[in-house]
Structures are given as structure tokens and as C-alpha cells.
Amino acid sequence: MISSIPKWVGDLFESALRPNAKALEISYISPQIKKIRFQGDLSKMNFEIGYANVIRVSETEYRNYSAAYYNKEKGIIDIIFHIHGNGVGSQYIDTIKTGDEIYISPPRGKKIYDPNVKQQFIFGDETCLGVASSFLPYLKKNNHQFQFYFELDGENKNVTELLGLENFTVFPKNGSFRNEKWINNLPLFKTSEWKTAGFVLIGNVKSVQTFRKVLKNNMSGKIITQGYWLEGKKGL
Ligand SMILES: Cc1cc2nc3c(=O)[nH]c(=O)nc-3n(C[C@H](O)[C@H](O)[C@H](O)COP(=O)(O)OP(=O)(O)OC[C@H]3O[C@@H](n4cnc5c(N)ncnc54)[C@H](O)[C@@H]3O)c2cc1C
């Protein structure tokens, strides 16, 4: 996905990329997790679980963020941001206050929800809290058996509960999901219950890759993956 465009291209499309959404309400789920409700014209936007909106975070930089909730009639979209402090996107989002106007693109990307898969297992980190929040109502409404695994920094360990997520297990983000042997010992692999489940792995690229490898060796269900960020890499 494109994360930056030359300034002259931005200038050329300036009118198309001008602010189109206003920050209505802001809340902090933790000091690092900022939830913003934006209002704008969503009538032509097509939302799917796993799709991302591109937000303009500087004159030339764009970053992907997912809708946690939307209401087309009211023109409302909620996004849950991880304020990690390492990049231009995070720093820009940190400065947003009520009343600010920003550019949010229509959502696009990879569909990660298959209503036909009875058992759904979802793995992610702070960047995936929005996707998880958008997933939950469908998992409940369509009577899926589901389980979330999250790797989170210590200061965010309560955010899943505060966001009203269900059936989640929170693990400390300490590199465990980069350790195949450790992953192999997870309760998930102790029974055959999840053998044919659908797996959705999102978040940190290295964790996703390692988890996928272990799942491929042990499970027969479909595995969908999408890396959301990678150490040292700008704007995935
Ligand atoms: C489809 C999709 C949906 C996404 N949805 C969301 C969402 O809803 N909420 C959300 O917060 N993020 C989401 N992300 C992730 C977000 O786009 C990335 O974290 C992005 O790199 C942030 O841009 P940045 O400018 O802050 O950092 P960048 O300039 O991209 O990166 C600079 C440095 O920061 C590091 N970095 C980037 N992200 C993190 C992080 N989370 N923790 C620690 N270090 C990091 C990079 O590794 C790099 O070293 C999504 C990504 C994708 C692909």
C-alpha cells in the first residue's frame, strides 16, 4: 500500500485530499490508546471488516487505520489509534483535538471475515483493537464460536475489557509470539477443538509470521494474515 506520495502529486490532487472529517469526540482507553469519533460524509464509503481507511498524516504521508464502528446515516466513524510515538502518523494522531478536520479516504483492502466459518480465531495487538471491535457484533449475531488472542504492552492490558470485547486472552508483548516453541505450548494446541477453525492473524509482521508457521504445522483450517506494522518499516 502507498504510504507517501510526492508533494507535487499531493498538490495536484489537493482538492480531492482536503479535510473531509471532523473530530467529534475523543477518549483515551489508556494513555496509548486514543479513540476518536469523526463525522463526515460516509454515503459513498463501502465498509468491510478488515478494510482500512487511509488518513493523511502530513503533507506527503498517509497511514492505514481501521473503522471500529460506523454509522452511515449519522456520518459517524470511530477509529482506535495506537499512540506508539515512533512515527509521523502516531505523532499526528496524538495532536488531534475535538473540532480538528482531517482527510480520511474511503475504506479498501482485504476482507477478513467469512460468515461461513463457524469457529473464528483472531490474533492481533494494539493496532487491531478497531478491527476486533468491528468483528465482535458479527461474531455474536451470526453465532460463531470465537476467541481473540492479543499481545499488548503492559499499560494496555485492560483495554480489551474497557472496549467491551469478549472471549479474549491478553498476553504481554514480550516477544513470546516470535518464539515457535512457546506458541506450540498455547492452550489452543492442547485440544483438537480449533483444528478446523478459521484463523485471522493481524498486527506485527514478525508475530503474524511466526504464529502462522506454527498454525500451519498443527491446524487444517484456513489462515488469513495481514501485517499491520514492522519494526523499522514506515507505513505498511
Ligand atoms: C490494514 C491496516 C489497518 C490498520 N489499522 C490500524 C488501526 O486501526 N489503528 C492503529 O493504531 N494502527 C493501524 N494500523 C497500523 C498503522 O497503519 C501502522 O502502525 C503505521 O505504521 C503507523 O504509522 P506511523 O507513521 O505512526 O509509523 P511509521 O512511520 O509507519 O513507522 C515508524 C516507526 O514506527 C514503528 N511502528 C509503527 N507502528 C507501530 C506500533 N503499532 N507500535 C510500535 N512501533 C510502531 C515502525 O516499525 C517504524 O519503526 C493498520 C495497518 C494496516 C495495514
List the domain boundaries for the chain: 7-108, 112-229
Count Cα neighbours of 70 within 13 Å in the Cβ-side half-sphere: 23
Give the distance (Å) from ligand 1 centre to CA of residue 195: 31
What is the rounded average pLDDT for all residues in the chain? 95
Give the distance (Å) from ligand 1 centre to CA of residue 58: 15
pLDDT above 90: residue 1: no
| CATH entry, 7-108, from 3.40.50.2300, 2.40.30.10, 3.30.1520.10, 1.10.3720.10 | 2.40.30.10
Backbone phi, psi, residue 161, to 5°? -65, -45
Report which protein residue has its CA nearest ligand 1's atom 7.
65
Give the distance (Å) from ligand 1 centre to CA of residue 85: 10
DSSP assigned state of 189: G
Residue 22 burial by CB count (10 A; 0-12/13-18/19+): exposed, middle or buried?
middle
Q: Under CATH, to which class is 112-229 assigned?
A: alpha beta
pLDDT above 80: residue 14: no
Least confident of 11-20, 80-89, 185-194: 11-20
Q: What is the pLDDT of residues 188-213, one digit of tens each?
A: 999 899 999 999 999 999 999 999 99
Residue 18's pLDDT band, with cuts at 50, 70 and 90, is confident
Least confident of 15-19, 72-76, 134-138, 188-192: 15-19
Q: Is the CB of 62 under 6 A from ligand 1?
A: no
Q: Is the CB of 52 under 6 A from ligand 1?
A: yes
Q: What is the pLDDT of residues 27-82, one digit of tens each?
A: 999 999 999 999 999 988 999 999 999 999 998 999 999 999 999 999 999 999 99
pLDDT at 235: 86
Domains 7-108 and 112-229 share a fold: no
Give the distance (Å) from ligand 1 centre to CA of residue 90: 7
Residue 18 burial by CB count (10 A; 0-12/13-18/19+): exposed, middle or buried?
exposed
Residue 164 burial by CB count (10 A; 0-12/13-18/19+): exposed, middle or buried?
exposed
Q: Grid coordinates standing for 122?
A: 483472531
Count Cα neighbours of 17 within 13 Å in the Cβ-side half-sphere: 19
Q: Which of 86, 131, 159, 208 to mutate to test the pocket of ligand 1 (most atoms within 8 A of CB)?
A: 86
Report which protein residue has its CA nearest ligand 1's atom 38.
229
Q: What is the pLDDT of residues 158-190, one digit of tens each?
A: 999 999 999 999 999 999 999 999 999 999 999
Please report, for residues 45, 63, 167, 230, the alpha-carbon distance to residue 148 in angstroms, rounded to integers and kept in the order given.
28, 25, 6, 21
**What is the DSSP pairing of strand 51-56 with strand 62-65?**
antiparallel
